Amino acid sequence: MAGDSGSDIGNFTELPGMELGVIVNYLATGELGKISKEAANAIETDNTRFVLQGVDENIGVWQPTEKTRRVGAKEAVLTNPKA
């Protein structure tokens, strides 16, 4: 299952049998931000339900990492500090 916004939260919380959720990492807050932090904490573990797909918003492409670089930012970050 995949999602990129708060309206997709049900994809990750309400579907029985979901084995892996891919979150397009737009540095979400709220419920999706909480799940994003869970995914960040599970990086390099064998027991994860969620993974992050990073984005470079400056050029509009996915990154080969979990981190996202916001428009105008010099550094990519893993999660939104406000989440």
Instruction: Decide: pTM greater than 0.75.
Output: yes
Q: Is the pLDDT of residue 16 over 90?
A: no
Query: 13 is written with which tokens?
Result: 């919380």
Domain ranges of the chain: 2-62
DSSP state letters, 1-36 = -EE-SGGGHHHHHS-TT---EEEE-S---HHHHHHH
Tell me what the mean pLDDT of segment 54-59 comes to.
97
Query: Percent of the chain, pLDDT > 90?
Result: 76
Helix (H) or strand (E) holding 37, with range, is helix 30-41
Tell me what the mean pLDDT of segment 64-81 comes to.
96
Predicted confidence at residue 35, as pLDDT, reads 94
Phi, then psi, of 22 in degrees rounded to 5: -105, 120
